[in-house]
């Protein structure tokens, strides 16, 4: 027998979906159609009753959804996956698919804002209760899990401080309590962290970020076992967060280059974070790849790279921080993260519409906090842009 060595993830990004290839064009044609023809009556009957059929009706599935799901599932070490119209589409499909009235969820105090709202606002209206714990405290998970729990929702690293969750420990505690574990792996990507290998049952992504990688689409993915994904699919077809075939094609194209983008982004972000950490106008840099990050050893344990997002705290106030952001010329002033362009946001301005002052304090969103998502510009150019804005002073800054 001649057994080939398993392919590296770089190659799997290009070939994990080979078995789904049809026709002779190297790149897949866009199945630009809401519906698909059946050859005869018995084929139609079979299409109509097959879960996740890729050629029945696009809300139920599509050949390009299937290819994207195959690649992400492969990289995450999952059996299969489901593609949605946005990251929130994947998260809402997952939670509504798993939960019923009376269920209890344990989640983190810090999550993507949409997830927090879904858990503590929308699901509560359907009599699903939720306890939010400090993600950095394993004991807090243990205490919360003394109560019967259906789902443990995790996310690591998180906004805005790049705080980490000990995924292996939280998943072990959750499984002892009989709960399913869902991990939002958006910030890490499947190249830097594989939550299923740490014990997760389901992994969700906002593919709008690194997986797509070019700021030109919104999409989501959830991967896990055949049984769980089929259950989520039956929710997804009534939730209706369907990714358009064109966006699925763009996402597939984005995925092909994920490993080269992440290699560069991991390296550039560490270079930029290290340069900024020693600047006198910077109070602190939160980046899991820096030895000074309070959870750096956990980061090294469960991640193989640290991604492109960091939190900067300036020695300044709200106005000075806003002025700093405005002075940047390479880093683009826009929400979102994980793409080819470096993006910067003033955290307090971004979250002012959704959090009151007390909630901002609790989530660590101080007036001097800036979130930076490193893209593919040369790191020296980014550092020059950032230092130029820092050295220009902050107007109303007060140091010390």
Ligand X SMILES: *Cc1c(COP(=O)(O)O)cnc(C)c1O
Q: Annotated active-site positions, please?
A: 59, 112, 184, 209
Residue with Cβ nearer ligand X (232 or 323): 232
Cα-based distances in Å from 14 to 29, 74, 293: 16, 11, 34
SS3 298: helix
Work out how close the CB of 364 gets to ligand X at its nearest, in angstroms, rounded to a whole number. 16
Residue with Cβ nearer ligand X (173 or 251): 251
Work out how close the CB of 108 gets to ligand X at its nearest, in angstroms, rounded to a whole number. 11
Cα-based distances in Å from 340 to 243, 244, 293, 297, 332: 22, 22, 25, 28, 11
C-alpha count within 13 angstroms, C-beta hemisphere, residue 287: 31
Work out how close the CB of 176 gets to ligand X at its nearest, in angstroms, rounded to a whole number. 26
Torsion of CA 255, 187, 305, 293, to 10 degrees: 170
Enclosing H/E stretch for 174:
helix 167-176
Residue with Cβ nearer ligand X (99 or 251): 251
Work out how close the CB of 221 gets to ligand X at its nearest, in angstroms, rounded to a whole number. 10
Residue with Cβ nearer ligand X (331 or 390): 331
Residue facing ligand X at closest CB distance: 87
Judge contact between 95 and 118, C-beta under 8 A.
yes
Residue with Cβ nearer ligand X (203 or 390): 203
Interface residue list for ligand X (CB under 6 A): 86-88, 112, 114, 155, 184, 186-187, 206, 208-209, 218, 220
Judge contact between 348 and 223, C-beta under 8 A.
no
Work out how close the CB of 111 gets to ligand X at its nearest, in angstroms, rounded to a whole number. 8
Enclosing H/E stretch for 285:
strand 282-286
Residue with Cβ nearer ligand X (208 or 266): 208
Distance CA 294, CA 377 (A): 28
Q: CB count, 10 Å around CB of 400?
A: 4
Distance CA 376, CA 293 (A): 24
Cα-based distances in Å from 279 to 50, 92, 282: 59, 41, 5
Work out how close the CB of 269 gets to ligand X at its nearest, in angstroms, rounded to a whole number. 16
């Amino acid at each position: 027998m001649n057994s080939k060595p398993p392919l590296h993830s770089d190659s799997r990004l290009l070939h994990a979906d080979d078995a789904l290839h049809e026709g002779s064009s190297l790149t897949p044609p866009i199945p630009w159609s809401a519906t698909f023809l059946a050859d005869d009556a018995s084929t139609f009957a079979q299409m109509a009753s097959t879960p996740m059929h890729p050629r029945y009706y696009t809300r139920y599935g599509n050949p390009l959804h299937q290819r994207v799901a195959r690649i992400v599932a492969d990289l995450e070490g999952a059996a299969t996956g489901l593609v949605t119209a946005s990251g929130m589409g994947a998260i809402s499909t997952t939670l509504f698919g798993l939960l019923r009235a009376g269920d209890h969820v344990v989640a983190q105090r810090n999550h993507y804002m949409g997830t927090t709202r879904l858990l503590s606002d929308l699901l509560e209206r359907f009599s699903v209760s939720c306890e939010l714990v400090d993600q950095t405290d394993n004991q807090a998970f243990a205490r919360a899990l003394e109560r019967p729990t259906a789902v443990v929702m995790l996310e690591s690293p998180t906004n805005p401080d790049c705080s980490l969750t000990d995924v292996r420990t939280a998943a072990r505690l959750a499984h002892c309590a009989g709960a399913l574990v869902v991990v939002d792996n958006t910030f890490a990507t499947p190249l830097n962290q594989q939550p299923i290998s740490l014990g997760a049952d389901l992994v969700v992504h906002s593919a709008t970020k690194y997986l797509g990688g070019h700021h030109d689409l919104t999409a989501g993915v959830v991967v896990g076992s055949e049984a769980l994904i089929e259950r989520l699919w039956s929710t997804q077809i009534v939730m209706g967060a369907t990714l358009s075939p064109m966006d699925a094609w763009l996402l597939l194209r984005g995925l092909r280059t994920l490993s080269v983008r992440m290699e560069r982004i991991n390296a550039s972000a560490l270079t930029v974070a290290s340069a900024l950490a020693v600047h006198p106008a910077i109070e602190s840099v939160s980046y899991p790849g820096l030895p000074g990050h309070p959870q750096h050893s956990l980061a090294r344990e469960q991640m193989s790279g640290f991604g492109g997002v960091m939190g900067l705290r300036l020695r300044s106030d709200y106005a000075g921080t806003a002025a700093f952001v405005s002075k940047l010329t390479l880093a683009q002033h826009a929400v979102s993260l994980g793409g080819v362009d470096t993006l910067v946001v003033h955290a307090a301005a971004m979250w002012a519409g959704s959090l009151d002052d007390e909630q901002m304090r609790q989530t660590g969103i101080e007036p001097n906090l800036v979130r930076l998502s490193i893209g593919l510009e040369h790191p020296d150019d980014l550092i020059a842009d950032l230092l130029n804005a820092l050295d220009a002073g902050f107007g109303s800054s007060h140091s010390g």
